[in-house]
């Protein structure tokens, strides 16, 4: 203040007498230091805020692309001069599209310009080809003849490198030697190659009768590769059709099952068991009376995509129904991507995306999320469509024989609100589920990225850690600050704080290797031991109350623990040793053969219907408790010790007992501080990573029925509400552990990588929201118990 | 009926006599970094030690968190060697090709069998792949008739009512991916398979729990666990012996790989080339045996050595 006043002093030459004595004027050095510190602290403070927002912004930037809509843009038009009725194909580099009409010629045209390459497949002596079927997923032109022979021409591309490392795409053509299925005219054929087993399936027409015939080829597989191909016998499966007239065939790439679409729109699912075939299922994809216009595989061949004549799509997937024994097809998804009926369908060979089109429009869809990612109109009349294996480039052949190429940019089709936070009906599951299973060893794996099991896992882990830590830490803090002798307290407090410095990896390691096997078969012992602690304390309290005061006074104030501790120790030990007896008495399980076994691990699943696992919440709760207790203890103890002695002395002077003082004066005054201690402990527990990674199995558990929290609104799979998720004797996977376990493998920029960041954001938002509420509560507590 | 007994003595598996002994060359020095498979971790360390004895000026760093960490490391150039226990996925190949314009080269370095481990007191005779699928997966793609949760369902009446406690690898691991592909028929794991950060943690978990079962590379056998013989059905079970692996009768044998960034038409850099030559020599393959895996057959070694210099 004075500095400013002096500056304002008028300088009229006349010395104005100072209104304050010299000794009150602050030295300029101090002021400069003051100003410097002011700005330094401000800089630091703003820096912290900027850093926090920076991290927040970085996370948001990583997450944002997950929710972007796909981009599709026209790239170029290549003149293929394709003939009428030609099929087109595109290599995965998008450099050598080709057109094929029949087995006589394949024409490759480089997109970059240059000579067209014509290749003539060597199909042997000329045959009366009765059927040509283009399999767009494998680039095979399947052929069938008038006298029951089948074969195919396969079109492929290989990348070749010259000495300088320049890449060129070389077209390739492979011809599969003719295989005889039987007598008759081939009306449809399909083929699958599962490595050791290959299968041709065909429809043979003679007169007004159509027969279904399969012929398998086997090839021995060793570690070194494949041996010679042996042709098996042709097998007539017409009996299995039970009179229905087959129209179209699909063989799964495992070569062990066959799908037959009949003339009256029924689908038969035939399954091979050793050498025999059986009819597993018969179903109508669209119900009675509706036509099936198309039947195709989705990549991975676990799902079938059907469309009707109106443009509706239905996806049927193979799964074992609830309580069933075999995998059957069931309707899982419905879509209507186009305005007009669908003519063409192409599936990506890298994921569950597919494209459908007709002459004037096309749509990119994603099967897992049941979404039409993007619908767009075409400015030409499309007669044929192709999608490259990577699902990144789309080509339409128009009536003039030109190929219109489009780029698809849709890097994260798997993400979205629905797949991240809602139930999704994945392939192979009997119903919609919340599942986290992010990676597989193959490309056709369907990523399951629900964050719900992880969020619940985090909550579960925190809950059990707090359940264990809070009573111990708070009671210890109260006892240490209010009852314990100050000399002892000076030892206890620092030792507790040293406990906080135990690295969590060590705790996790101990939990997994020592504690989990130790308490695995000693749960009853553990329960009795835990029960023994408050029991011993209460017992000693009662006894102490009946001891004559003269005797009580012999023990110095604050040294009572010397008496209680041995009793607690003895009772805990007794409880531990009585555990097996309790187990024999209470926890007896009845086995299937009627015999009885006293084993808690058997009794728990039998009694509750919930699983028992060695790496369970008890272990994690214990180990996390070790990390959380010191934090809560130290802060709570500080808050309790800082209650002004004037208050406690006053109450004691008024005749309150030590316990009355604590209960009515110390606790309310320190409540705000204790609350902060709990919140900081909570924060530690939520974010704790290494203990959870090591001591649990990282099992992203969900209620088996796929319901959130309440099972069927009240009951889980077990007999008790909520219990499925909160089962103590089971593991969990937390958000933080998930990031630690999976981030090293996630390719930068992939959906998986970004979803892990989203997990981090969810964790952040969860703690942020909770801390805000807690802070508001704390403020109220502080105002209420303010000492004036 | 179980085929094959496991003899871990040195004479059990013979190294091919045609495999050349490693010849030291001059002018090899520098840093080499390998990031990838945990299954190959011990083996890489052994090779690095052996290589370091021959070339004191070479510094090799090895990080093994899982096969899935290898492709990103090769792409970003932080590693020259990418040890993997499964082949790269198309997606990973695509990403590599997008960056370099060509595909990475895979060098086979050892034979491994993926073994199912059980506690050493476990009396199980063997499992079929369909049973393994029923035990580990929710999707049961290999045709298990029912969900197997209980030891009683596997024909152990004394253990009826005991839940099978499952241990497995974390998803970054190639072992996880391989198991998913071959033992689960590309299906999904149950959510109660305890994912462990390393193969030794899997074996450790199984050895500390009587009713447990887990999968890991065959080299991780300890005294606390035993192999469960596997079969395709018909009551025939095969132990993961060398003969059963090479003949393909043991259903889950595989090659362990090291991926390198080798531009087509050009050679590898000298240090990486010499390291791989060492791995593919009699000295290197003897270390494979020492670590509990199986050496490559002579013809594969020859083929790989040709590929290195092509």
- Note whether A601 contacts B194, CB cutoff 8 Å: no
pLDDT for residue B46 is more than 90:
yes
CA distance A390 to chain B (A): 8
Pull the structure tokens for residue A122. Answer: 């060597």
Asked whether A610 and A456 are in contact (CB, 8 A), the reply is no
What share of chain A has pLDDT > 90, as a percent? 41
- Note whether A350 contacts B90, CB cutoff 8 Å: yes
Residues of chain A contacting B86 with CB distance shorter than 8 Å: 441
Buried (b) or exposed (e) across A571-604, using 16+ Cβ within 10 A?
A: bbeebbebbeebbeeebebebeeeeebbbbbbbb
Q: pLDDT of A199-230, one tens digit each? A: 999 999 888 888 999 998 888 777 667 777 88
Taking the alpha carbons at both ends of chain B, their separation in whole angstroms is 46
CA distance B237 to chain A (A): 17
What is the structure's pLDDT at A477? 95
Mutate to test the interface with A, among B183, B191, B293 (most CBs of A within 10 A): B191
Give the distance, in angstroms, between the CA of residue A631 and the centroid of all CA atoms in the same chain: 31
pLDDT for residue A713 is more than 80:
no
Mutate to test the interface with A, among B192, B245, B263 (most CBs of A within 10 A): B192
Residues of chain A contacting B72 with CB distance shorter than 8 Å: 747-748
pLDDT for residue A734 is more than 50:
yes
SS3 of chain B:
CEECCCCCCCCCCCCCCCCCCCCCCCCCCEEEEEEECCCCHHHHHHHHHHHHHHCCCEEEEEEECCHHHHHHHHHHCCCCEEEECCCCCHHHHHHHHHHHCCCCEEEEEEEEEEEEEEECCCCCCCEEHHHHHHHHECCCCCCCCCCCCEHHHHCCHHHCCCECEEEEECCCCHHHHHHHHHCCCCCCECCCCEEECCHHHHHHHHHCCCCEEEEEEHHHCCCCEEEECEEEECCEEECCCHHHHHHCCCCCEEEEEEEECCCCCCCCCHHHHHHHHHHCCHHHHHHHHHCCCECCCHHHHHHHHHHHHC
What is the structure's pLDDT at A57? 92
Residues of chain A contacting B89 with CB distance shorter than 8 Å: 441-443
- Provide the pLDDT confidence category of residue A390 given band limits of 50, 70 and 90: confident
Taking the alpha carbons at both ends of chain A, their separation in whole angstroms is 30
What is the structure's pLDDT at A703? 65
Q: pLDDT of A151-170, one tens digit each? A: 999 998 888 776 666 778 88
Q: pLDDT of A639-668, one tens digit each? A: 999 999 899 999 999 999 888 999 999 999
Mutate to test the interface with A, among B75, B84, B188 (most CBs of A within 10 A): B188
- Note whether A593 contacts B157, CB cutoff 8 Å: yes
CA distance A117 to chain B (A): 23
Which among A220, A426, A520 has the least Cβ separation from residue B209? Answer: A520
pLDDT for residue B64 is more than 90:
no
What's the rounded Cα separation, in Å, for the pair A387 and A379? 18
CA-nearest residue to A592 within chain B is B160
What is the structure's pLDDT at B228? 94
DSSP structure class, residue A90: -
- Note whether B157 contacts A220, CB cutoff 8 Å: no
CA distance B129 to chain A (A): 15
pLDDT for residue B6 is more than 70:
no
pLDDT for residue A4 is more than 70:
no
- Note whether A453 contacts B146, CB cutoff 8 Å: no
* Residue in A238, A257, A259, A240 with CA at minimum distance from that of residue A248: A259
Mutate to test the interface with A, among B171, B210, B256, B294 (most CBs of A within 10 A): B171
- Note whether B180 contacts A441, CB cutoff 8 Å: yes
What's chain A's Rg over C-alpha atoms?
38
- Note whether A223 contacts B255, CB cutoff 8 Å: yes
Torsion of CA A11, A15, A21, A24, to 10 degrees: 20
A777 to A675, A768, A772: CA distances (angstroms): 9, 14, 9
Q: Kindly report which listed range (A3-12, A244-253, A372-381, A560-569) carries the lowest average pLDDT score.
A: A3-12
Residues of chain B contacting A426 with CB distance shorter than 8 Å: 188
Please say whether the dihedral angle defined by the alpha carbons of residues B98, B103, B105 and B110, taken in this order, is positive or negative. positive
**What is the bridge-based pairing of β-strands B105-119 and B81-84?**
unpaired
CA distance B303 to chain A (A): 11
Q: Of the spans A691-705, A708-722, B233-247, which averages the highest pLDDT?
A: B233-247
Asked whether A240 and A268 are in contact (CB, 8 A), the reply is yes
Residues of chain A contacting B181 with CB distance shorter than 8 Å: 440-442
What share of chain A has pLDDT > 70, as a percent? 94
CA-nearest residue to A221 within chain B is B248
CA-nearest residue to A447 within chain B is B188
Region of B101 on the Ramachandran plot (φ > 0 left; ψ -120 to 50 alpha; else beta): left
DSSP structure class, residue A440: -
- Note whether B177 contacts A439, CB cutoff 8 Å: yes
- Please tell me chain A's helix, strand, coil percentages from 3-state DSSP, rounded to the nearest 5: 40, 25, 35
- Provide the pLDDT confidence category of residue B246 given band limits of 50, 70 and 90: confident
- Note whether B101 contacts A742, CB cutoff 8 Å: no
Q: pLDDT of A235-285, one tens digit each? A: 898 888 888 889 999 998 888 889 999 998 999 999 988 788 999 999 999
pLDDT for residue A6 is more than 60:
no
What's the rounded Cα separation, in Å, for the pair B151 and B144? 15
- Provide the pLDDT confidence category of residue A599 given band limits of 50, 70 and 90: confident
Average pLDDT, integer, range B200-225: 91
CA-nearest residue to B103 within chain A is A159
Asked whether A342 and A356 are in contact (CB, 8 A), the reply is yes
CB pairs under 8 A between A and B: 194
DSSP E strands: which ranges in A381-482? 382-387, 393-398, 402-409, 436-437, 448-449
Which among B91, B161, B246 has the least Cβ separation from residue A592? Answer: B161
Residues of chain A contacting B197 with CB distance shorter than 8 Å: 693-694, 741
What share of chain B has pLDDT > 90, as a percent? 41
Mutate to test the interface with B, among A223, A508, A620 (most CBs of B within 10 A): A223
Asked whether B181 and B188 are in contact (CB, 8 A), the reply is no
Give the H or E element holding residue A149: strand A149-161
Residues of chain B contacting A706 with CB distance shorter than 8 Å: none
Q: pLDDT of B121-177, one tens digit each? A: 999 999 999 999 999 999 888 888 889 988 989 988 888 888 899 999 988 788 898
What is the structure's pLDDT at A17? 65
Which among B86, B92, B165 has the least Cβ separation from residue A613? Answer: B165
What is the structure's pLDDT at A281? 92
pLDDT, averaged across chain A: 87
- Note whether B188 contacts A164, CB cutoff 8 Å: no
pTM confidence score: 0.87
What is the structure's pLDDT at A2? 46
A120 to A87, A128, A513: CA distances (angstroms): 16, 18, 66
Residues of chain A contacting B141 with CB distance shorter than 8 Å: 302, 327, 428
CA distance A439 to chain B (A): 6
Q: Count other C-beta atoms under 10 Å from residue A330's C-beta.
A: 16
CA distance B163 to chain A (A): 8
The predicted complex's ipTM stands at: 0.85
- Provide the pLDDT confidence category of residue B10 given band limits of 50, 70 and 90: very low
CA-nearest residue to B256 within chain A is A223
What is the structure's pLDDT at A83? 78
Pull the structure tokens for residue A391. Answer: 């699902």
What is the structure's pLDDT at A14? 59
What is the structure's pLDDT at B215? 95
pLDDT for residue A401 is more than 90:
no
pLDDT for residue B234 is more than 80:
no
- Within A192-296, residue ranges assigned H as helices are 238-241
What is the structure's pLDDT at A788? 59
Residues of chain A contacting B255 with CB distance shorter than 8 Å: 223
Average pLDDT, integer, range B12-32: 82
Residues of chain A contacting B297 with CB distance shorter than 8 Å: 224
Residues of chain A contacting B95 with CB distance shorter than 8 Å: 747
Average pLDDT, integer, range A100-109: 86
Pull the structure tokens for residue B161. Answer: 């009512």
Pull the structure tokens for residue A287. Answer: 């119900």
Q: pLDDT of B68-80, one tens digit each? A: 889 989 998 899 9
pLDDT for residue A18 is more than 70:
no
Using CB atoms within 10 A of its CB, is residue A536 exposed (0-12), middle (13-18) or buried (19+)?
buried
Residues of chain B contacting A445 with CB distance shorter than 8 Å: 180, 186
- Note whether A223 contacts B103, CB cutoff 8 Å: no
pLDDT for residue A441 is more than 90:
no
CA distance B67 to chain A (A): 8
Q: pLDDT of A497-550, one tens digit each? A: 888 888 888 999 898 888 988 888 889 999 999 999 999 989 998 998 898 888
Give the distance, in angstroms, between the CA of residue A114 and the centroid of all CA atoms in the same chain: 48
CA distance A369 to chain B (A): 18
Average pLDDT, integer, range A767-784: 87
- Note whether B161 contacts A602, CB cutoff 8 Å: yes
Mutate to test the interface with B, among A271, A446, A457, A745 (most CBs of B within 10 A): A745
Give the H or E element holding residue A603: helix A600-608
What is the structure's pLDDT at A439? 84
Which position has the higher pLDDT, A8 or A384? A384
């Amino acid at each position: 203040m004075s500095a400013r006043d002096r500056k304002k002093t008028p300088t009229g030459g006349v010395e104005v007498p100072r209104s304050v004595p010299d000794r009150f004027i602050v030295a300029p050095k101090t002021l400069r230091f003051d100003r410097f510190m002011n700005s330094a602290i401000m800089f630091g403070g703003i820096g912290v805020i900027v850093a926090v927002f920076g991290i927040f912004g970085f996370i948001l930037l990583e997450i944002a692309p997950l929710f972007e809509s796909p981009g599709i843009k026209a790239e170029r038009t290549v003149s293929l001069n394709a003939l009428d009725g030609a099929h087109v194909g595109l290599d995965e580099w998008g450099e050598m599209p080709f057109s094929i009409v029949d087995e006589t010629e394949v024409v490759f045209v480089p997109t970059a310009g240059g000579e067209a390459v014509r290749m003539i497949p060597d199909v042997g002596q000329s045959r009366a080809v009765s059927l040509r079927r283009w399999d767009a997923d494998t680039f095979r032109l399947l052929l069938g003849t008038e006298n029951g022979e089948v074969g195919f021409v396969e079109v492929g591309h290989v990348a070749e490198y010259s000495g300088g490392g320049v890449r060129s795409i070389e077209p390739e053509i492979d011809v599969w030697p003719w295989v005889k299925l039987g007598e008759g005219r081939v009306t449809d054929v399909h083929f699958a190659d599962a490595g050791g087993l290959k299968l041709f399936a065909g429809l043979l027409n003679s007169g007004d009768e159509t027969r279904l015939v399969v012929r398998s080829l086997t090839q021995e597989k060793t570690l070194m590769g494949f041996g010679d191909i042996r042709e098996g016998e042709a097998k007539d499966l017409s009996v299995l059709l039970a009179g229905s007239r087959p129209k179209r065939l699909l063989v799964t790439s495992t070569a062990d099952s066959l799908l037959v679409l009949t003339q009256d729109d029924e689908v038969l699912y035939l399954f091979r068991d050793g050498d025999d075939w059986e009819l597993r299922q018969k179903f109508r994809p669209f119900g009675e009376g509706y036509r099936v216009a198309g039947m195709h595989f989705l990549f991975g061949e676990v799902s079938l995509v059907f469309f009707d004549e109106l443009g509706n799509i239905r996806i049927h997937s193979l799964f074992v129904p609830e309580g069933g024994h075999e995998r059957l097809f069931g309707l899982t998804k419905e879509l209507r991507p186009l305005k007009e009926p669908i003519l063409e369908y192409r599936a990506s060979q890298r994921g569950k995306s597919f494209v459908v089109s007709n002459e004037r429009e096309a749509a990119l869809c994603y099967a897992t999320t049941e979404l039409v990612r993007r619908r767009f109109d075409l400015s030409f009349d499309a007669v044929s469509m192709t999608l490259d294996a990577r699902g990144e480039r789309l080509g339409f052949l128009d009536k003039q024989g030109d190929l219109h190429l489009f780029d698809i940019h849709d890097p994260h089709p798997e993400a979205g609100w629905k797949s991240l936070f809602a139930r999704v009906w994945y392939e192979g599951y009997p119903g919609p589920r919340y599942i986290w299973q992010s990676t597989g060893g193959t490309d056709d794996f369907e990523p399951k990225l629900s964050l719900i099991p992880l969020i619940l896992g985090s909550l579960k882990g925190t809950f059990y850690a707090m359940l264990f830590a809070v009573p111990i830490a708070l009671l210890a803090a109260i006892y240490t600050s209010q009852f314990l002798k100050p000399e002892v307290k000076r030892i206890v407090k620092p030792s507790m704080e040293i406990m906080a410095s135990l690295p969590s990896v060590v705790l996790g390691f101990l939990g997994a290797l020592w504690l989990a096997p130790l308490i695995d078969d000693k749960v009853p012992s553990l329960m009795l031991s835990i029960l023994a602690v408050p029991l011993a304390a209460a017992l000693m309290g009662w006894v102490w109350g009946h001891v004559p005061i003269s005797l009580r006074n012999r023990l110095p104030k604050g040294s009572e623990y010397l008496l209680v501790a041995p009793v607690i120790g003895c009772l805990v030990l007794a409880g531990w040793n009585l555990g097996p007896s309790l187990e024999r008495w209470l926890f007896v399980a009845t086995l299937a053969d009627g015999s009885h076994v006293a084993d808690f691990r058997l009794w728990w699943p039998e009694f509750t219907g919930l699983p028992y696992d060695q790496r369970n919440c008890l272990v994690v709760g214990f180990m996390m408790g070790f990390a959380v207790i010191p934090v809560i203890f130290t802060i709570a103890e500080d808050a309790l010790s800082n209650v002004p002695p004037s208050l406690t002395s006053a109450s004691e002077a008024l005749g309150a007992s030590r316990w009355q003082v604590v209960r009515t004066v110390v606790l309310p005054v320190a409540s705000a501080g204790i609350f902060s201690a709990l919140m900081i402990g909570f924060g530690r527990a939520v974010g704790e990573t290494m203990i959870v990674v090591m001591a649990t199995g990282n099992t992203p558990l969900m209620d088996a029925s796929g319901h959130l929290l309440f099972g069927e609104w009240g009951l889980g799979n077990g007999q008790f509400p909520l219990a499925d998720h909160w089962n103590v004797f089971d593991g969990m996977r937390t958000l933080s552990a998930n990031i630690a376990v999976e981030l090293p493998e996630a390719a930068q920029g992939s959906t998986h990588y970004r979803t892990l960041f989203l997990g981090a954001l969810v964790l952040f938002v969860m703690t942020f929201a909770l801390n805000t509420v807690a802070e508001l509560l704390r403020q109220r507590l502080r105002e209420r118990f303010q000492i004036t | 009926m179980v085929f094959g007994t496991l003899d871990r003595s040195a004479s059990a598996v013979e190294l091919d006599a045609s495999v050349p002994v490693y010849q030291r060359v001059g002018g090899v020095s520098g840093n080499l970094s390998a990031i990838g498979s945990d299954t190959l971790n011990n083996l890489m360390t052994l090779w690095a030690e052996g290589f370091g004895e021959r070339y004191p000026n070479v510094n090799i760093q090895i990080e093994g968190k899982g096969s899935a960490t290898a492709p990103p490391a090769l792409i970003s150039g932080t590693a020259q060697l990418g040890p993997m226990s499964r082949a790269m996925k198309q997606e990973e190949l695509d990403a590599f090709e997008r960056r370099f314009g060509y595909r990475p080269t895979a060098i086979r370095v050892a034979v491994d069998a993926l073994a199912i481990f059980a506690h050493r007191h476990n009396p199980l005779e063997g499992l079929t792949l369909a049973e393994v699928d029923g035990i580990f997966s929710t999707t049961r793609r290999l045709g298990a008739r029912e969900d197997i949760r209980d030891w009683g369902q596997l024909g152990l009446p004394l253990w009826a009512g005991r839940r099978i406690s499952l241990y497995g690898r974390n998803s970054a691991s190639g072992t996880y991916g391989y198991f998913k592909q071959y033992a689960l028929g590309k299906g999904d794991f149950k959510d109660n398979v305890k994912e462990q950060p390393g193969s030794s943690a899997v074996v450790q978990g199984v050895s500390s729990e009587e009713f447990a079962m887990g999968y890991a590379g065959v080299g991780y056998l300890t005294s606390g666990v035993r192999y469960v013989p596997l079969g395709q059905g018909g009551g025939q079970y095969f132990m993961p012996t060398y003969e059963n692996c090479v003949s393909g009768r043991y259903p889950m044998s595989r090659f362990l790989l090291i991926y390198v960034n080798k531009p087509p038409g050009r050679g590898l850099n000298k240090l990486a080339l010499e390291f791989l030559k060492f791995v593919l020599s009699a000295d290197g393959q003897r270390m494979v045996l020492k670590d509990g895996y199986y050496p490559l057959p002579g013809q594969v070694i020859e083929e790989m050595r040709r590929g290195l210099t092509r």
